[in-house]
Chain A
């Protein structure tokens, strides 16, 4: 009985990890397309926009089936619930990446603000690293790593605030950049939201590992955003 469950759970875990890696690649593709003004790349992403939601539904169906038929308890229960909840956050991250791709298609006006684009690259690098780490923490049941990832959301928030100031300064310096800059606002905001979802993922890793449910809120967040 338990063997069957563990076998099913293993499949579910694999599916969840695959979705995580795919979402992570999407963040990279979307922001790269945005910075490079590569509308073709963005369009090909948007053409594939159903992939993440359908994957998410599939995982949730499997998890619900396990809940109903195997009625897991204790660690087994926490693993299934974590996957169920974390999948929703992964899906949201995927949606945000897709929104960056859509913004790439929408963006008009060429005069750019290189400093902001540098921050966008930086934020992208950081959220991707955080996402990979939180997935690693998930696999390894590493509470400490999950907490470490969550604490690094403040760097993302800090970059976001800095970018916003640079965008405003950029527009004031040269109003012709206003159009492109509106997209900068959107994209940096989306990256900041991705950071928040990664914090949620970290809290599910902690729940799965310790059974404790806690809000890993960033104490500085309310002050700056």
Chain B
């Protein structure tokens, strides 16, 4: 039996925190436990990479943060977002997801125009001031580093964009509702190296305004763009530290074995 005790878990000053979990446990079907007592703190305006083998619990953890697992699993524990435990039944999850947005592995734009993709949620929320919506379209697309590439075809179908552009459009769409946190589930795994590089540049630029938590299977990506890295193994958080420390001098043997690719 492997020792699954955490080797190091980084913590931050309370004032620096954007989001944190305490003893988060996730059970699927009432009996299969996928996540064990995960207590992690996320610092404001940083990028944190969640790494670990398939089935290690990192995506389960990520999806729990904005209550995406509610219907498929039982989630116990606390999720603190600016002084509020958002893992409570009385929390409006739709409001929560405005603050904690999500970008998925495969680009999933709506089969609508580029413009409509951005304003869809805003319109549904009752906003219909055209000038204001146009402003948000430009602002969001600029933030996602896509504006220059699509400004002349905002009314063309989003599905005509390349995979990399579609993924940046999904980021722009998430940014349109002004979230504070962006959750990214392997955002670059379906992209070619050039699109990946653009996406990474975009995320780095967004860091000054947003807090990002990203699941990735790509070790180089984690080391290139994240400030902090958490390593998950068999549902346990084994090590959480600055990315530089994790990749040059990890404290735990399992962490070291995983990132060096000599697992098992």
- Contact of A2 with B260 in the complex, beta carbons under 8 Å: yes
- Contact of B259 with A73 in the complex, beta carbons under 8 Å: yes
In-complex Cβ contact of B262 among A2, A78, A210, A211 (8 A):
A2
Q: Is B96 part of the binding interface, using a Cβ–Cβ cutoff of 8 Å?
A: no
Residues of B within 8 A of A77 (CB): 247-248
How many residues does chain A have at the interface if contact means C-beta atoms less than 8 Å apart? 13
Docked pose: A168 CA to B248 CA in angstroms: 50
- Contact of B260 with A74 in the complex, beta carbons under 8 Å: yes
Residues of A within 8 A of B249 (CB): 74, 78, 210-211
Residues of B within 8 A of A210 (CB): 249
- Contact of A73 with B248 in the complex, beta carbons under 8 Å: yes
Residues of A within 8 A of B220 (CB): 71
For B219, B223, B249, B259, the residue with the greatest tally of chain A CB atoms inside 10 Å of its CB is B249
In-complex Cβ contact of B256 among A1, A5, A71, A74 (8 A):
A74
Interface string of A54-86 (1 = CB under 8 A from B): 000000000000000001111111100000000
Residues of A within 8 A of B126 (CB): none
Q: Is B235 part of the binding interface, using a Cβ–Cβ cutoff of 8 Å?
A: no
- Contact of B248 with A78 in the complex, beta carbons under 8 Å: yes
- Contact of B261 with A1 in the complex, beta carbons under 8 Å: yes
A6 CB, nearest partner CB in chain B, Å? 8
Residues of B within 8 A of A72 (CB): 260
Interface string of A123-139 (1 = CB under 8 A from B): 00000000000000000
Residues of A within 8 A of B259 (CB): 73-74
Q: Is B250 part of the binding interface, using a Cβ–Cβ cutoff of 8 Å?
A: yes
A143 CB, nearest partner CB in chain B, Å? 14
Residues of B within 8 A of A211 (CB): 248-249
Interface string of B236-264 (1 = CB under 8 A from A): 00000000000111100001100111100
With A78-B248, A211-B248, A211-B249 as known contacts, state yes or no: A73 contacts B223, CB within 8 Å.
yes
A7 CB, nearest partner CB in chain B, Å? 13
- Contact of B262 with A75 in the complex, beta carbons under 8 Å: no
Q: Which residue of B lies closest to A81 (CB)?
A: B248
- Contact of B262 with A73 in the complex, beta carbons under 8 Å: no
Residues of B within 8 A of A75 (CB): 256, 260
Docked pose: A210 CA to B248 CA in angstroms: 10
Docked pose: A74 CA to B253 CA in angstroms: 10
B116 CB, nearest partner CB in chain A, Å? 41
Docked pose: A6 CA to B250 CA in angstroms: 19
Q: Which residue of A lies closest to B261 (CB)?
A: A2
Q: Which residue of A lies closest to B250 (CB)?
A: A74
Q: Which residue of B lies closest to A77 (CB)?
A: B248
- Contact of B260 with A76 in the complex, beta carbons under 8 Å: yes
Residues of A within 8 A of B261 (CB): 1-2, 5
Which A residues, 187 to 225, have Cβ-Cβ distances below 8 Å to chain B?
Answer: 210-211
Residues of B within 8 A of A76 (CB): 260
B65 CB, nearest partner CB in chain A, Å? 27
Q: Which residue of A lies closest to B263 (CB)?
A: A2
Q: Which residue of B lies closest to A75 (CB)?
A: B256
A77 CB, nearest partner CB in chain B, Å? 6
Docked pose: A77 CA to B223 CA in angstroms: 13
Docked pose: A66 CA to B67 CA in angstroms: 43
Q: Which residue of B lies closest to A1 (CB)?
A: B261
**A-B pairs with lowest CB-CB distance, top 4:** A211-B249, A2-B262, A2-B261, A73-B247
- 7 A-B pairs with CB atoms under 8 Å apart are A2-B262, A72-B260, A73-B219, A74-B247, A74-B248, A74-B259, A78-B249
